[in-house]
Amino acid sequence: MGQVSPTRVTIEGGPVPYQVVVGRDLLGSLPPLVAGAQRAAVLHAPPLARYARRVAGALETAGVAAHPIGVPDAEAGKTVEVAARCWDALGAAGFTRTDVVVGVGGGAATDLAGFVAATWLRGVRWVAVPTSLLGMVDAAVGGKTGLNTAAGKNLVGAFHPPAGVLADLSALDSLPRVDLVAGLAEVVKCGFIADPAILDQIEAGPAAVADPAGPALRELVERAVRVKARVVAADPREAGPREVLNYGHTLAHAIEQVEGYGVRHGHAVAIGLVYAAGLARAGGRLDRATADRHVAVLRALGLPTSYRGDAWPELRRAMRVDKKARGGTLRFVVLDGLARPSVWAGPPEELLERAYTQEVAR
């Protein structure tokens, strides 16, 4: 099979537009993004050590000295202590304003790398090389970087868009299938809020879309990135319209909290999508067929669509402190129809509970 050339999606809205490159075996696209740098730090966690060596090799070939920096995996890497160790490493290697940070890994690694780049010398260039599906369609796109602290997840951070994002689908070959499928929940979200062709494609062949080497997943990644690109361009600093990306996330965050973050984000989002659709239906805003389609599409992918029936009181309490609630009023992104998202501030308590009991509880 001949090599398909990469697709480039431009992200506007920030200080400088940048591109998300989607394709397979993309490391040849790295050198132009680091042009002018003498050094590049390659931040990565242990599961990505091999791929990070390939990234370092591509940098060295382009004449840029690569400095691999190993960081703890997943959320354990998103701490102030780890960021401080990265700053120390940059200092020891003599990093200057023209040098570059490359973040290789899932959303946690790219969030950390972006934050380290945002803060070193008050902001140096960085490149995101997301290796999880969630990273490619969500975390690495949009310019938000962040860390977790004792006060909560992602409460410390900076808007610091990368110089470019390489969504190299061949990196997904080593991603456990369960994580790949979990990442599809964010893709499904994009389908419901903005691009129903995503849903058509999943319905036409749910098994095919979980194959990282196949054309179906590639098209879904491109479509989801385009959805995020449009939303981010309209609201680069999350002042308002970007809220639609929170579809399904209000209940999802509550589930993550109740589970002590021991649940995959995509699994929580899948349940949250079913809930948001049920809420809109209970409120007479969304038709039954579109609400039911949420369950059907997510189930076809093998994603969870229900949660413990006795959990409502805990979930309701957790939602009260959702950081996206404003002044104590819960704000739900709901659909008034397919691809017609809007925000519902303060839905009646009775509907909140009924939607849970009828649509999500098992």
Could you list the residues that contact ligand NAD (CB under 6 A)? 45, 47-48, 73-75, 78, 105-109, 111, 131-132, 134-135, 138-139, 142, 144, 154, 171-172, 174-175, 179, 265
Residues 221 and 200: their CA atoms lie apart, in Å, by 14
Question: Smallest distance, Å, CB 335 to ligand NAD?
Answer: 21
Say which residues have a Cβ less than 8 Å from residue 268's Cβ, sequence separation at least 6: 251, 252, 253, 255, 256, 259
Question: Smallest distance, Å, CB 61 to ligand NAD?
Answer: 22
| CB nearer ligand NAD, residue 209 or residue 280 | 209
Closest CA to 103 of 76, 81, 136, 65: 136
Which positions are catalytic?
122, 144, 186, 228, 238, 242, 246, 249, 253, 265
Q: In what order do the strands lie in the sheet with 65-70?
A: 7-11, 18-23, 164-168, 125-130, 100-105, 39-44, 65-70
Residues 174 and 346: their CA atoms lie apart, in Å, by 43
SS3 353: helix
Question: Smallest distance, Å, CB 189 to ligand NAD?
Answer: 11
Question: Smallest distance, Å, CB 159 to ligand NAD?
Answer: 10
Structure tokens at 31: 């050198």
| CB nearer ligand NAD, residue 263 or residue 330 | 263
| CB nearer ligand NAD, residue 74 or residue 233 | 74
Question: Smallest distance, Å, CB 266 to ligand NAD?
Answer: 7
Residues 248 and 193: their CA atoms lie apart, in Å, by 10
Question: Smallest distance, Å, CB 174 to ligand NAD?
Answer: 4
List Cβ<8 Å contacts ≥24 apart for 312-321.
312/353, 312/356, 312/357, 312/361, 314/254, 314/258, 315/251, 315/254, 315/255, 315/258, 315/356, 316/254, 316/352, 316/353, 318/253, 318/254, 318/257, 318/258, 319/250, 319/251, 319/253, 319/254
CB of 131 within 8 A of CB of 171?
yes
Please give the full DSSP string across 77-104, using - where no structure is assigned.
GSSHHHHHHHHHHHHHTT--TT-EEEEE
Residues 66 and 327: their CA atoms lie apart, in Å, by 47
CB of 314 within 8 A of CB of 204?
no
